[in-house]
Structure 1
Amino acid sequence: MKLNFLAAGRLRMKKSIYIPGADRSEMIDLPVSSALIRHKQGNVLFDTGCHPSVVDNAEERWGPLAKVMQPLMGADETLLPSLACVGLGPDDIDIVVNSHFHPDHCGCNQFFKKATILAHAKEVEAAKAPAAENAGYLRVDWDTGQPIETVNGEKDLFGDASVVLVPLPGHTPGSLGALVNLDRDGPFLLASDSVSLRQHLDADTAPRNTWNVEGHLKTYEEVRRIESSGATIICGHDDQQWQRLRKGNQGYE
């Protein structure tokens, strides 16, 4: 089994959303990523990043959210070109796991027409709720026509403990992580926005864009438990970590 980290966008946001005490004029640049898991039973994408149309016109797709999340990437830094660099196209993907349904995590779902979408049942419920767009759920990104298989508790994706989906609520009601157990490089927890930046976990602080702070802090306890068992924690938007990771064809096994 192989794990490849793929560029899927880049955003600029107010630093004060993530760092307590930051001046409201300061900005922070955040990588957006997808993880490709190549298993003998099928190809899995964990998150699909930003839709390529936001490169040129974010407001048309995202509306007011485009003022909060400013895309920085070029077209070649979105998911489909990144996937092509490892020799795969959209029809080669069997399963898409969405950690949650914010548009920087499910923006390219529509391209994977042969895939089944997996998401937590509480995330689907939140995305369908009245005024869900005010909470960052854009139907154009998450509701793209493929079957959605809902997850409630942990889910062993292939029945061999190689990829286990783990509920990590707090950032959103149904945030999911994926524990990927590799033969050579060991376990990785794809934590997504349950740990947006490493310093949140270390300082036990939740960013301002958190749905439930108490739930988020409890999730940190679970993440630390998984890390103590030997897993590498992959944060959702930590640029320092992103720069150190092997990316594209230079993956992990």
Structure 2
Amino acid sequence: MKLNFLPAGRLRMKKSIYVPGADRSETIDLPVSCTLIRHKQGNVLFDTGCHPSVVDDAEGRWGPLAKVMRPMMNASETLLPSLACTGLKPGDIDIVVNSHFHPDHCGCNQFFKKATIFAHAKEIEAARAPGAEAVGYLKADWDYGQAIEPVSGEKDLFGDSSLVLVPLPGHTPGMLGALVGLDREGQFLLASDAVSLRQNLDADAAPRNTWNVEQQLRTFEEIRRIEKSGATVICGHDDQQWQGLRKGSESYE
């Protein structure tokens, strides 16, 4: 089995959203990533990043949210060119797992028409609730009428414990992580926005864009437990960690 981290956008946001005490005028640049897992039973994408149209017209795609999350990438830094570097096309992807339905994590769902999409049942419910668009669930990104397989508890995707979906609620009601076990390089926990920045986990400090702080702090405890068992925690938007990862065609095995 192989794992590839793929660039899928870049955003500029207020630093105070993530870092307590930061000046409200200060900004922070956040990488957006997806992860390709190539298993003998199928190719999986964990998250699909930002829709390429936001490079030129973020407000047209995201509306007022574009003022909160400002895209800072060019077209080559979106998912489809990144995926092409691995030799795969959208039609080669069998499964898409959305950690949650915010637009920087499901923006390219529409391109994976042959894939089965998995998301947590509570995330599907939240995205369909009245007023969902006002809290970041944009129908244009997450809902193309395709069937979505709901996940409730942990789910072993291939039945061999190599790729297990793990509920990590707090940032959103149905946040999902993925625990990936590689033969040579061990376990990786794809935490997505359950750990946006490493310093949030280390300081036990929930970001301001957290849906439920109590659940988020319990999730931090669970992530620390998984990390102590030997897993490498991959944060959702930590630029320092991102710079140190192998990316694109360079895989982990």
Q: TM-score, normalization: structure 2?
A: 1.00
Q: Which residue of 2 aligns with 1:113?
A: 113
Q: Which residue of 1 aligns with 2:81?
A: 81
SS at match of 1:141: helix
Q: Which residue of 1 aligns with 2:125?
A: 125
Paired with 2:67 and 2:135, the residues of 1 have a C-alpha distance of 14
Q: TM-score, normalization: structure 1?
A: 1.00
- AA partner of residue 76 (structure 1): S
Which string of whole-angstrom CA distances, capped at 9 and with x for unpartnered residues, describes residues 112-150 of structure 1? 000011000000000000000111000010001321000
SS at match of 2:63: helix
Q: Which residue of 1 aligns with 2:240?
A: 240
Gaps of 5+ in 1: none
User: Which sits farther off after the overlay, 127-136 or 137-146?
Assistant: 137-146
- AA partner of residue 162 (structure 1): S
Q: Does the 8 Å CA contact 1:47/1:96 hold for their aligned counterparts? A: yes
Q: Percent identity?
A: 82
Paired with 2:196 and 2:248, the residues of 1 have a C-alpha distance of 21
Q: Which residue of 1 aligns with 2:11?
A: 11
Q: Does the 8 Å CA contact 1:54/1:71 hold for their aligned counterparts? A: yes
Which string of whole-angstrom CA distances, capped at 9 and with x for unpartnered residues, describes residues 55-104 of structure 1? 00000010000000000000000000000000001000000000000000
Q: Which residue of 2 aligns with 1:158?
A: 158
User: Which sits farther off after the overlay, 61-70 or 144-153?
Assistant: 144-153
- AA partner of residue 216 (structure 1): Q
Q: How does 1:29-48 map to 2 (within 5 A)?
A: 29-48=29-48
- AA partner of residue 56 (structure 1): D
Q: Which residue of 1 aligns with 2:196?
A: 196
Paired with 1:159 and 1:98, the residues of 2 have a C-alpha distance of 19
Q: What is the count of residue pairs matched by the alignment? A: 253
Which string of whole-angstrom CA distances, capped at 9 and with x for unpartnered residues, describes residues 158-191 of structure 1? 0000000000000000000000000000000000
Q: Which residue of 1 aligns with 2:211?
A: 211
Paired with 1:68 and 1:248, the residues of 2 have a C-alpha distance of 28
Q: Which residue of 2 aligns with 1:135?
A: 135
User: Which sits farther off after the overlay, 235-244 or 136-145?
Assistant: 136-145
Q: Which residue of 1 aligns with 2:99?
A: 99
Paired with 1:56 and 1:8, the residues of 2 have a C-alpha distance of 15
Q: Which residue of 2 aligns with 1:171?
A: 171
SS at match of 1:64: helix
Q: CA deviation at 1:110?
A: 0.2
SS at match of 1:164: strand
Paired with 1:251 and 1:56, the residues of 2 have a C-alpha distance of 30
- AA partner of residue 145 (structure 1): G
SS at match of 2:160: coil
Paired with 2:225 and 2:144, the residues of 1 have a C-alpha distance of 35
Paired with 2:249 and 2:137, the residues of 1 have a C-alpha distance of 32
Q: Which residue of 1 aligns with 2:61?
A: 61
Q: Does the 8 Å CA contact 1:115/1:146 hold for their aligned counterparts? A: no
Q: Does the 8 Å CA contact 1:114/1:146 hold for their aligned counterparts? A: no
Q: CA deviation at 1:194?
A: 0.2
RMSD, matched Cα: 0.4
- AA partner of residue 96 (structure 1): V
Paired with 2:98 and 2:2, the residues of 1 have a C-alpha distance of 19
Paired with 1:113 and 1:205, the residues of 2 have a C-alpha distance of 38
SS at match of 1:252: coil
